[in-house]
Amino acid sequence: MRSTIVAAASSYHTLHCHLLYTLTVSVVDFGISVADHALEIYRSSEGVLDQNLQIQTMATDLTLITADLQSSIAVSEKLGLVRNAQELMKTARDCHKSSRQLLEALSRLKVDGERTKWKAIGRSLYTA
């Protein structure tokens, strides 16, 4: 009976140590990620991560393309050149709306005004 209790306590201790180790590694990994992103934001000329700049460029292009597409669909519908114009228009509108929402979200990740280390760290918490 006593050996069963000792074995159970030992298993519990091993599990507890493993969980503590896993938590520690996760916290350290998150901290490193925040520090890396903060440094990149602080050093960037735009006050934003490079990957966010690339996404912003694509979202801007998508916004312009979908606006043009909506105009083209409207003209084609008037001329009777397109079947399913309503479905195409809905898809173009949804895509346009999503790209604008993405641009708004990306603008919240950008450091506005003077870039300080604390502002960079604050923004990096959202991206880590």
Q: For a pLDDT cut of 90, what percent of the chain falls above it?
A: 38
Task: Show the CA angle centred on residue 69, arms to residues 64 and 73, nearest 5°.
Answer: 155
Q: What is the pLDDT of residues 55-78, one digit of tens each?
A: 999 999 999 999 999 999 888 888
Positive or negative, the Cα torsion across 77, 79, 83, 88?
Answer: negative
| pTM tops 0.85 | no
**Domain boundary assignment for the chain:** 32-127
Over the chain, what is the mean pLDDT?
A: 86
Q: Counting beta carbons within 10 angstroms of the beta carbon of residue 122, is it exposed (0 to 12), middle (13 to 18) or buried (19 or more)?
A: middle
DSSP 8-state class, residue 24: H
Q: Which residues contact 102 (CB under 8 A, 6 or more apart)?
A: 55, 59
Banded model confidence at residue 5, pLDDT cuts 50, 70, 90: low
Banded model confidence at residue 19, pLDDT cuts 50, 70, 90: confident
